[in-house]
Structure 1
Amino acid sequence: MNLTDWLGFMGVALILLAYILNVTNTISNSHIAFILLNCIGATMACYASVLLNYWPFIILEGVWALVSLVALLKTLTNTTNIS
């Protein structure tokens, strides 16, 4: 496997880990770990897709990363406003 394969594999693994932890009720979908796993995983998978020049997954993972980033920023903003 080359670097692109590893980036894609690790990105997808992080997304799947977030999903598994959520469906097993280990973390909620609003938990910071869930959001970070999705954001980092989708970014890695998107970058791997860019390296492969595979547009369907660039769009899918890019949108996934952006939505996760917005959720992360909202979570961090709400956390800092509580204190």
Structure 2
Amino acid sequence: MSTPFDWASIVGLCGTACIIGAYAYLTLAKATNPFPLHGTNLLGAALLTISLLVHTNWASLMLEGFWASIAIFGLVRAWHRRPSTGEPT
């Protein structure tokens, strides 16, 4: 069985690059910003999901669902923990 190298495969490869890039950022940076970290992971999961909807692999699709859920949780938590601005002194 061979899968064609089409637009869905290219979208999936871009998603893979996002997730690998986010992991490299997490590993190599001295201090990380949660917004680009989780945002890039969420983008990667979304792109891979698009690819997997065309070239279905149920186990990978489930993994991307969890990956996206964790990224969304991380973004929400970071949003609630951000320093508030505009407070009266």
The bucket for the TM-score relative to the shorter chain is 0.7 to 0.9
TM (norm. structure 2) is 0.79
Q: Distance in 1 between matches of 2:29 and 2:80?
A: 25
The sequence identity of aligned pairs, in percent, is 20
TM (norm. structure 1) is 0.84
Q: Distance in 2 between matches of 1:59 and 1:3?
A: 21
Q: Give RMSD over aligned pairs.
A: 1.7
Confirm whether residue 24 of structure 1 aligns to residue 28 of structure 2: yes
Greater fraction helix = 1
Distance 1:7 1:24, change over 3 A: same
Deviations 1:7-40 (A, max 9, x none): 1100010000011111112552x52111111011
Confirm whether residue 47 of structure 1 aligns to residue 50 of structure 2: yes
Residues 3-82 of structure 1: matches in 2 within 5 Å?
Answer: 3-25=7-29, 27-28=31-32, 31-79=34-82, 82=84
Matched AA of 1:41: G
- Maintained 8 Å contact 1:46/1:61: yes
Count of residues paired in the alignment: 81
Matched AA of 1:21: Y
Gaps of 5+ in 2: none
- The structure with the largest alpha-carbon Rg is 2
Gaps of 5+ in 1: none
